[in-house]
Amino acid sequence: MNLEWFITKRIAFSKGRAFSSFIIKIAIVAVALSMAVMVITTATVNGFQNEISRKIFGFWGHIHINSYTLNRSYEDLHPISMQQDFYPEITKTEGIKHIQVYANKAGIMKTDTDIEGIILKGISTDFDWDFFSHYMMDGQHFELNDSTSSKGMVISKTTADRLKLKVGDKLVVAFVQKPIRARKFTIDGIYKTGIEEYDERYALIDIKQIQKLNKWAPTHVGGFEIFLDDVDQLDHFSEYVHSDVINHELRSQSIREINPNIFEWLALQDMNETVILSLMVLVAIINMVTALLILILERTNMIGILKALGSNNWSIRKIFLYNAAIIIGWGLLIGNLLGLGICWLQQKFGFIRLPEESYYISVAPVDINLGAIALINLLTLIICVLIMVIPTYLVTTIHPIKAIRFD
pLDDT value of residue 373:
93
* Most distant CA atoms of the chain, gap in Å: 104
Q: What single letter denotes the amino acid at residue 193?
A: T
> Is the distance from CB of 20 to CB of 298 less than 8 angstroms?
yes
pLDDT value of residue 346:
93
pLDDT digits (tens, 9 = 90+) for 64-110: 998 876 445 555 668 899 999 999 899 999 999 999 999 999 999 98
> Is the distance from CB of 174 to CB of 108 less than 8 angstroms?
yes
pLDDT value of residue 55:
81
Contacts of 5 (CB under 8 A, 6+ apart): none
pLDDT value of residue 205:
94
Going by C-alpha positions, the residue among 48, 68, 45 that lies closest to residue 56 is 48
pLDDT value of residue 239:
93
| CA gap 304, 283 in Å, rounded | 31
Element containing residue 136 per DSSP (H, E): strand 136-139
Q: List the chain domain ranges.
A: 2-55+263-405, 69-247
pLDDT digits (tens, 9 = 90+) for 172-205: 999 888 788 889 999 999 998 888 878 888 999 9
pLDDT value of residue 24:
81
Classify 348 in phi/psi space as left (phi over 0), alpha (psi -120 to 50) or beta. Answer: alpha
Confirm whether pTM is higher than 0.75. yes
pLDDT value of residue 91:
92
Question: Which stretches in the chain have pLDDT values below 50?
Answer: 1, 11-16, 70-71
User: Peptide bond preceding 79: is omega within 30 degrees of 0, i.e. cis?
Assistant: no
